[in-house]
Structure 1
Amino acid sequence: MKLSKSFCVMVLAGITLIIPNISLAMGGPSGAKMDWQIQGKIGAVKLNPYNLSPLTAVIMDGGYILKDIKVTILPKPNGQTISYSVSENMAKTYGGIPIFGLYPSYLNSVKVSYTKISNNKSEKIIDEVYKITTPGVSIMPSGNTSQTGSPFANVKIIKMDKKFNDRLYLVNNAPGKQSGKGSQAVWNNPAGGALEWDENSNVFIIDTKGEIRWYFDNDKLMDWNNIYNRGIMMGFKQNNDGALTWGFGQRYVKYDVMGREIFNRTLPSSYIDFSHAMDNMQNGHYLLRVASANVKRADGKNVRSVRDVVIEVDQNGNVVDDWRLYDILDPYRSTIIKALDQGAVCLNIDANKAGVTLSDEELAKMDENNQFGDIAGTGVGRNWAHVNSVDYDPSDDSIIISSRHQSAIVKIGRDKKIKWILGAHKGWGKKFQQYLLQPINSNGAKIVCEDEYSKCPGYENEKGGFDFTWTQHTAWRIDSKSNKRYLYLSVFDNGDARGAEQPPFASQKYSRAVIYKIDQQNKTVEQIWEYGKERGNEWFSPVTSLVEYQKDKNSIMVYSATAGMAFDLSKGISIGDPKPEIDEFIWGSKNPSVQIQFSGTNTGYQAMPFDVEKAFNAK
């Protein structure tokens, strides 16, 4: 018998053995061979380990226990070094050393040190260098002609104080509807809801040189053919364990920066339409800004509500409590609704309606015509409240909400009773007037305001004085400076409908970052810091944006996210893309220590410093 090249045949004691040719047995007699490239003394490099974070990698542990881990991403010439330690537990979680902060489209040099342990023997490895090649950034553009195809065309570092040289900033933008994707469904059983915000969004991290060092491949997270798995990503927060939480559409999620899923949940069935806010409570629960899936109105109509409910869920997704704001506040207060610029009602941007306001007659017709959904109007089933932030106050077990369409910041207890209202006094019914805060100056003297306390000294574009906030975002308690009586509050005052009216010229509009000190016992409010008036209309953000205190540097971080957005009112078109700007201030300073300006994007939403050390040192 002629033997083939592939097999040898042996006959021994009546047993026939067929033995593969050694040249075909890649792994040898013991199994498959591990033939990945190994650069150092442990394992291979695994790029994008969870398929959601392309600028991350894991140096696999090679079967060793690793501890005493230190990682440094060596910078480009004149670039920013990223360096962090990794806990032993996190190395076990990832099966090796997590690598974060790689440059895109680049042969990165990564320096690591560690101790490896095997068979109770340890070896200290110092300064091993790995080479890791990365792909380019592939954040999905909207397809609109006004967008460049990248998250931004240019990042201009205007100012960077050395105290902030180690900063990393996470940026969350919303470039707009993708051509042919999203906004393809309507809630109609019952009527209304806010599914119209079913659009593209992105999130990325830049360093202080303006380089992208991380982004989330959200197109792999979304399913544009499933209304329960798509929508604008909003409400990003870095948790105490270093991971990120946010929500989109009908879901809320938690992932770590490597792209590892911790949870990805559909909203509880009584609620719909997450947007804007997911607050991390001190007890491990989450506050979500949602809406009601089914409300029985006084007129007998069943509707979906719009951005007017806050729920508390526990770690397992069970509903603990809810705040139905249409039962707590006045959904028919129209003072601000009638003064809003209908061309920019948060992310519903429509240049054809720039400068247009609503009348009492138009509001009345909404009921007559059964108009419900994501439209500015009064009554349950319309966008009467537009709550865009929620924050928990552990000192008295209450929540603080920002209602854009009431130009009001409201504190509400667990018992659903109002504690105070920070906002213009105009238009509030008698039952609410007892909760309105009285403005005072630094000496404690009462500030008298005109037109039912809607126009205070400082309401016009001048230095000094006091003003309320108008169509504001992110009303957040500064925990480290507040106590049970005195509450420090950071707010982005967008400034539309300032003084409960539209100005004669759109160019007169301006935005502010502002800090208030509230005496909760005496029901007074003092404005202790502001920025933005001096920048005028070029820093004006009609929608979105953020102000947040940063404890690590005793600073105030501001994102004027749609600065520079402008309209030609005669033609009803946009005449300028926004130039979002990050500014960071030492506490009390009127001059920013950091100024970073973006261009080439559409709508900025929010931004925040990202703590890489926290991300990899969970216990």
Structure 2
Amino acid sequence: MSGISRRDFARLTVFAAAAAAVPMVAHAFGGPSGPSTIYKKQKIGEVIMNPYKIAPLTAIIRNGGYELRNASVRIVPKEGGQEIAYKVSDSQLLTHGGIPVFGLYPDYRNKVEVTYDRIFYGKTERITETYTMATNDIFGLHPFPKAVVRKAAPAKFADRLYYINNIGGNNNTRHAVWNNPEGGALQWSSYPLNMIIDTKGDVRWYLYPIGIYDVDSLYDGGIMMGLRQNEDGAITWGYGQHYVKYDIMGREIWNRRLPYGYNDFSHTMDAAQNGHYFLRVASSNLKRSDGRNVRTVRDMIVEVDQNGNVVEEWRLWEILDPYRDTAIKALDQGAVCLNIDPKLAGKTLSSEDLQKLDKEAHFGDIVGTGPGRNWAHVNSVDYDPTDDSIIISSRHQCAVIKIGRDKKVKWILGAPRGWKKPWSDALLTPVDANGKPLACGDAACENTNFDWTWTQHTAFRIDSKSDKKTIFISVFDNGDGRGFDQPPLPDMKYSRAVIYKIDQEKRTVEQIWEYGKEMGHEWFSPVTSLVEYMPDKDSIIAYAATAGANYDLKTGGLTSAPNPYLDEFEWGSTTPAVEIQLKNTTGYQAFAFDVNKAFNGKIM
């Protein structure tokens, strides 16, 4: 491909695909009447489909040189479909140079109703118009999953939109490893499948990432993870060696390389209440106590300010015990996060196996103990502003842990086995609803529904229900290694969505809600997944993101891809109000997307 770079070619391809979706009636570039436009002219200005080239189901109705104020947009639903309607702040009108349109159906002639004030030399007119916007079918490098509605949304949730963060399959860059120094987790790279669906299961937005992402690149690839909608309505996330912020129209706010001292972002990025961002990364170069230099693996948190300056770091190998192997020896080696190998299903590591790794100095994205191996596997971080602390989920320690800015452990929610002093002093005591301690051993509690979490994902503080003394935590208990053991039969495994209430003064924990145990192996999600509270509807979202995968244990082949469950519950209810299942796709996380926040969010 002489004379043009791979990235430029990709961008031209995206532009061509986007342009194909624009109905054009004026083709002349010039002539007696002067310059003209190739865009379709309507009431105020041209309509630009996919204006930022990465969100094909968006458009901008340009302002045509007028001043616009007080705008609102309605996407007319298909027959039996879901309406999307939202107001647009004056700031958004100015930012996009017109009216931003979000939520178009793919492969459809969409009817879009807009209302706005048009101000022209002091005269204000209130105008309502209808536009027709034709879109292409979904296009990408991997097929997007079909969403099947298993339980229709009641009125309370009828306007709900769900942002789905799935994974398109591992790429051959998995063979790449950092080698200066050794170790690291760079081999993770997979095409993203990010989309927004409505409660009818229709896709209303998706990401076409080629302009910002290259799955074959060591620096521009990775797995897009940790997506969150900020209070200003924009989306933040990370992938590989980047962390980024974009609005839902596809406009780049910033796209930054990780600071040089850190590498291999994955899993989680928290937009904190103090305006900073907390990223789960790893060290680019750590001098171990034995003198070896390594890149660490998923065991470091950094805090960056709005300008990307690093203001703090949490070196977890110095804060926790990186040689605690109790949970690591119980892990199913066939499903160590996304490193799924069915031929190793049910197998575990012994003390001898771990000693061999240490003796032979093997480092990298491998389960083991000590810096330079995947001993912690932190998959979420959440900031608590009441005491300036962070809450992390460590999959390979089967523990949720709170750590202060002083780098001291405040509490540990996890089974007691294997914790030495001083960490054992931080363990929370399980209690019932009356505050009475439960009969618990070092791995299980008797005659109670209480359980700790096992290889869990997402430990999120429920801000609106928590204060400095009492904190509510939502967790997805994946369930592998439950009780520090593997069951006799694989289909005995199950996952749970669970909420805990922690009294930080008494250092106790009460389990107040769970779902999933009754679903059994059907809902079992060995890796990934999420549980999160949604304050706008006082509800809980659970995404069992890898449920339903089946393997041929003899060949190691995949006989059916995962079929994730997306459930939303009224607070306190153990029956889903909404249930949608996605077919034949590997999920990571999902959350409720707030369209009004996207176009009227708090300015940050």
**Letter matched to residue 91 of structure 1:** L
Partner in structure 1 of residue 515 of structure 2? 531
- Report 1:148-227 matches (<5 A): 150-178=143-171, 181-227=172-218
- Report 1:143-542 matches (<5 A): 150-178=143-171, 181-450=172-441, 453-457=442-446, 465-542=449-526
Q: CA deviation at 1:34?
A: 4.0
Partner in structure 1 of residue 557 of structure 2? 573
Partner in structure 1 of residue 568 of structure 2? 584
Q: CA deviation at 1:225?
A: 4.9
Contact 1:541–1:560 (CA under 8 A) maintained in structure 2? yes
Quickly say closer, same or farther: Cα 1:25–1:131, change in 2 above 3 A.
Answer: closer
Contact 1:117–1:123 (CA under 8 A) maintained in structure 2? yes
Deviations 1:268-303 (A, max 9, x none): 111000001000111110000000001111111100
Q: Secondary structure at the match of 2:426?
A: coil
Once residues 353 and 36 of structure 1 are traced to their aligned partners in structure 2, the CA distance between those partners, rounded to angstroms, is: 56
**Letter matched to residue 28 of structure 1:** P
Which one of 7, 19, 32 corresponds to residue 28 of structure 1?
A: 32
Partner in structure 2 of residue 39 of structure 1? 42
Q: CA deviation at 1:566?
A: 3.0
Deviations 1:319-352 (A, max 9, x none): 0000000000001000010100011101111111
Contact 2:474–2:532 (CA under 8 A) maintained in structure 1? yes
Q: CA deviation at 1:154?
A: 4.4
Quickly say closer, same or farther: Cα 1:78–1:410, change in 2 above 3 A.
Answer: same
**Letter matched to residue 578 of structure 1:** P
**Letter matched to residue 87 of structure 1:** S
**Letter matched to residue 95 of structure 1:** G
Contact 1:170–1:203 (CA under 8 A) maintained in structure 2? yes
Quickly say closer, same or farther: Cα 1:290–1:380, change in 2 above 3 A.
Answer: same
Q: CA deviation at 1:568?
A: 3.6
Contact 1:557–1:585 (CA under 8 A) maintained in structure 2? yes
Contact 1:183–1:199 (CA under 8 A) maintained in structure 2? no
Once residues 205 and 39 of structure 2 are traced to their aligned partners in structure 1, the CA distance between those partners, rounded to angstroms, is: 25
Contact 2:158–2:199 (CA under 8 A) maintained in structure 1? yes
Once residues 220 and 184 of structure 1 are traced to their aligned partners in structure 2, the CA distance between those partners, rounded to angstroms, is: 24
Deviations 1:342-397 (A, max 9, x none): 11101111111111111111111112222100001111100000000000000000
Q: Is 1:550 aligned to 2:553, yes or no?
A: no
Once residues 403 and 104 of structure 1 are traced to their aligned partners in structure 2, the CA distance between those partners, rounded to angstroms, is: 39
Contact 2:29–2:37 (CA under 8 A) maintained in structure 1? no
- Report 1:66-145 matches (<5 A): 66-126=68-128, 128-141=129-142
Q: Secondary structure at the match of 2:52?
A: coil
Contact 1:158–1:597 (CA under 8 A) maintained in structure 2? no
Partner in structure 2 of residue 461 of structure 1? none
Range with greater deviation from structure 2 (437-446 or 151-160): 151-160
Q: CA deviation at 1:87?
A: 1.0
Partner in structure 2 of residue 50 of structure 1? 52
**Letter matched to residue 347 of structure 1:** L
Once residues 353 and 304 of structure 2 are traced to their aligned partners in structure 1, the CA distance between those partners, rounded to angstroms, is: 38
**Letter matched to residue 599 of structure 1:** K
Once residues 502 and 275 of structure 2 are traced to their aligned partners in structure 1, the CA distance between those partners, rounded to angstroms, is: 27
Q: CA deviation at 1:234?
A: 0.2
Q: Sequence identity, in percent?
A: 59
Once residues 435 and 27 of structure 1 are traced to their aligned partners in structure 2, the CA distance between those partners, rounded to angstroms, is: 78
Q: Secondary structure at the match of 2:179?
A: coil
Once residues 275 and 407 of structure 1 are traced to their aligned partners in structure 2, the CA distance between those partners, rounded to angstroms, is: 18
**Letter matched to residue 229 of structure 1:** D
Contact 1:457–1:467 (CA under 8 A) maintained in structure 2? no
Q: Secondary structure at the match of 2:152?
A: strand
- Quick check: which has more Rg, 1 or 2? 1
Partner in structure 2 of residue 605 of structure 1? 588
Q: Secondary structure at the match of 2:422?
A: helix
Q: Secondary structure at the match of 1:130?
A: strand
**Letter matched to residue 174 of structure 1:** I
Q: Secondary structure at the match of 1:367?
A: helix
**Letter matched to residue 116 of structure 1:** R
Deviations 1:562-598 (A, max 9, x none): 1112334344333332110111111111111011111
Q: Secondary structure at the match of 1:213?
A: strand
Q: CA deviation at 1:163?
A: 1.0
Where structure 2 has 5 or more consecutive residues not aligned to the other structure, the ranges are 1-27
Where structure 1 has 5 or more consecutive residues not aligned to the other structure, the ranges are 1-23, 142-149, 459-463
Between the two proteins, the alignment pairs up a number of residues equal to 575
Deviations 1:465-493 (A, max 9, x none): 21000000000000011111111000000
Once residues 25 and 581 of structure 1 are traced to their aligned partners in structure 2, the CA distance between those partners, rounded to angstroms, is: 51
Q: CA deviation at 1:33?
A: 2.8
Contact 1:469–1:494 (CA under 8 A) maintained in structure 2? yes
RMSD of the TM alignment (CA)? 1.4
Q: CA deviation at 1:120?
A: 1.5
Contact 2:73–2:101 (CA under 8 A) maintained in structure 1? yes
Contact 2:149–2:199 (CA under 8 A) maintained in structure 1? no
Once residues 260 and 568 of structure 1 are traced to their aligned partners in structure 2, the CA distance between those partners, rounded to angstroms, is: 44
Contact 2:160–2:593 (CA under 8 A) maintained in structure 1? yes
Q: Secondary structure at the match of 1:547?
A: strand
Deviations 1:5-62 (A, max 9, x none): xxxxxxxxxxxxxxxxxxx993437x4234632222x001100001010000000100
Quickly say closer, same or farther: Cα 1:488–1:122, change in 2 above 3 A.
Answer: same
Q: CA deviation at 1:404?
A: 0.1
Once residues 543 and 483 of structure 2 are traced to their aligned partners in structure 1, the CA distance between those partners, rounded to angstroms, is: 23
Contact 1:182–1:231 (CA under 8 A) maintained in structure 2? no
Contact 2:366–2:374 (CA under 8 A) maintained in structure 1? yes
Q: Is 1:594 aligned to 2:585, yes or no?
A: no
Q: Secondary structure at the match of 1:125?
A: strand
**Letter matched to residue 498 of structure 2:** V
Contact 1:140–1:219 (CA under 8 A) maintained in structure 2? no
Partner in structure 1 of residue 65 of structure 2? 63
**Letter matched to residue 30 of structure 2:** M
Range with greater deviation from structure 2 (151-160 or 476-485): 151-160
Range with greater deviation from structure 2 (412-421 or 562-571): 562-571
Quickly say closer, same or farther: Cα 1:133–1:260, change in 2 above 3 A.
Answer: same
Contact 2:541–2:566 (CA under 8 A) maintained in structure 1? yes
Quickly say closer, same or farther: Cα 1:446–1:362, change in 2 above 3 A.
Answer: same
Contact 2:110–2:133 (CA under 8 A) maintained in structure 1? yes
Q: CA deviation at 1:136?
A: 1.1
Partner in structure 1 of residue 25 of structure 2? none
**Letter matched to residue 325 of structure 1:** L
